Amino acid sequence: MKKLLSPHAKSKNIKLKIESNRILSKKIYTDRIKLYRILINLVNNALKFTQAGQVIVQAQVEQEETLVFTVTDTGIGIPEDKLNSVFEEFYYLNPTNNSERPGFGLGLFIVKKYVDLLKGTISASSQLGKGSQFIVRVPVALENEKTVFAEDKCVHQTPTLTSSSTARMKVLVVEDNHIARYALTTFLKDRGFEVHEAESAERAFNKVLANQYAFIVTDLSLDGMDGYQFTQLVREWERITAKSSALPIIGLPACDWPEEHTKAITSGMSLLLAKPINHEKIDQILKTFSTKVLEEALTYS
């Protein structure tokens, strides 16, 4: 982590320190990838709002069952009455200062989601003009215990389009019309996929945080956050969590107009297929993304 973030810290002339308690002799088990994403987001956030001084990351184990790590910065600080709001989706500390808050305001929101998935807790304290501190506590299993936490892992294999391979692949369907959602889900299940469904972009994003999907198929005219905004949200999440590759997102417009394609490309969609969906269009998705899907987005083990 220090190797990844040190260039950012050095570019701002900020000292990045990582301290750990090495007293515990046994190995601990948790979801390494989720924990890594929590740390990366917290440290990135600290560096973002620190103009001078340092960012310190400390880690220790309490009572051999709880991993505790603290991220402390000497940044701008957070008003006391805003501390509980910083974990909300799309929250910005200073909505008028666009230059200081690139992106969607998702960093701490995503941190909170991952902490919740690990059944942990996160707390924040701060003083304006002096800095902030975030403390994360997550349960862990020790080396001699039988319980080992599930960890995000991909099964890499030679790309093929057999039913046995698609049966191990999760896909997400985002559609607020239950009839259209049922039809699309049926097509995908017929091809052997494990299909997850969401009727809104907000619920879909929560599922993206908790699962490893081969690809996403989304309606564009969703109520509330539409399919374009949902795609931008996923792309922003990929950016701030340092994803090595983009999750394929297929948009389903009601009409196949040129302006829809332009808007889709701008939002970050991978492919646009006009409704109604059918087996031929499912084949087109597989033909377009088969290698990427099978090599990089298969199931957990």
Residues ≥6 apart with Cβ < 8 Å to 224: 200, 201, 202
Specify which residues 251 forms β-bridges with.
218, 272
Residues ≥6 apart with Cβ < 8 Å to 186: none
Give yes or no: residues 136 and 177 share one domain: no
Give yes or no: residues 253 and 123 share one domain: no
Inside any domain, residue 155: no
End-to-end CA, the chain: 25
Cβ atoms of 130 and 79 within 8 Å: the answer is no
pLDDT at 157: 29
Report whether the peptide linkage leading into residue 276 is cis, meaning its omega lies within 30 degrees of zero.
Answer: yes
Question: Which residues span the domain enclosing 21?
Answer: 2-142
Q: How many CB atoms lie within 10 A of CB 237?
A: 23
Round to whole Å and give the CA distance between 103 and 277: 33
Burial of 140 (0-12, 13-18, 19+ CB in 10 A): buried
Torsion angle of C-alpha atoms 92, 94, 98, 103, degrees rounded to 10: -20
The angle that helices 32-48 and 107-117 make with each other, rounded to 10 degrees, is 150
Give yes or no: residues 137 and 168 share one domain: no
Give yes or no: residues 210 and 125 share one domain: no
Give yes or no: residues 169 and 127 share one domain: no
Inside any domain, residue 133: yes
Looking up residue 105, the CATH number of its domain turns out to be 3.30.565.10
pLDDT at 12: 87
Cβ atoms of 232 and 224 within 8 Å: the answer is no
Inside any domain, residue 18: yes
Number of domain units in the chain: 2
Inside any domain, residue 209: yes
pLDDT of the chain along its 301 residues, tens only? 666 677 778 888 999 998 876 545 567 778 877 888 788 889 888 988 899 999 999 988 887 788 999 999 999 998 888 887 888 765 555 544 444 444 445 678 888 888 998 999 999 999 998 999 999 999 988 665 544 444 443 322 223 334 444 556 899 999 998 888 888 898 888 888 899 999 999 999 999 988 989 899 999 989 888 999 999 899 888 887 777 778 899 998 877 677 777 788 788 888 888 777 777 877 777 777 755 544 443 333 2
Give yes or no: residues 121 and 227 share one domain: no
Inside any domain, residue 148: no
Is 0.75 topped by the overall pTM? no
Q: In Å, how far are 31, 112, 113, 143, 234 from 139, measured between CA atoms?
A: 10, 15, 15, 13, 28
206: which 2 tokens?
């929560």
Round to whole Å and give the CA distance between 273 and 284: 9
Inside any domain, residue 190: yes
What single string gives the DSSP state of each residue in the chain? Answer: -HHHHHHHHHHTT-EEEEEE-----S-EES-HHHHHHHHHHHHHHHHHT-SSSEEEEEEEEETTTEEEEEEEE-SS---GGGGGGGGSTT--S-TT-GGG--S-S-HHHHHHHHHHHTT-EEEEEEETTTEEEEEEEEE-EETTSS----------------HHHHTT-EEEEE-S-HHHHHHHHHHHHHTT-EEEEESSHHHHHHHHHH---SEEEEESS-SSS-HHHHHHHHHHHHHHTT-SSPPPEEEE-SS--HHHHHHHHHHT-SEE-PSSP-HHHHHHHHHHHHHHHHHHS----
Inside any domain, residue 121: yes
pLDDT at 93: 55
pLDDT at 197: 96
Looking up residue 288, the CATH number of its domain turns out to be 3.40.50.2300
Residue of 16, 290, 22 lying closest to 157 (CA atoms): 290
Q: What is the largest CA-CA distance in the chain?
A: 63
Give yes or no: residues 178 and 133 share one domain: no
pLDDT at 163: 47
Give yes or no: residues 137 and 242 share one domain: no
Inside any domain, residue 267: yes
Give yes or no: residues 135 and 8 share one domain: yes
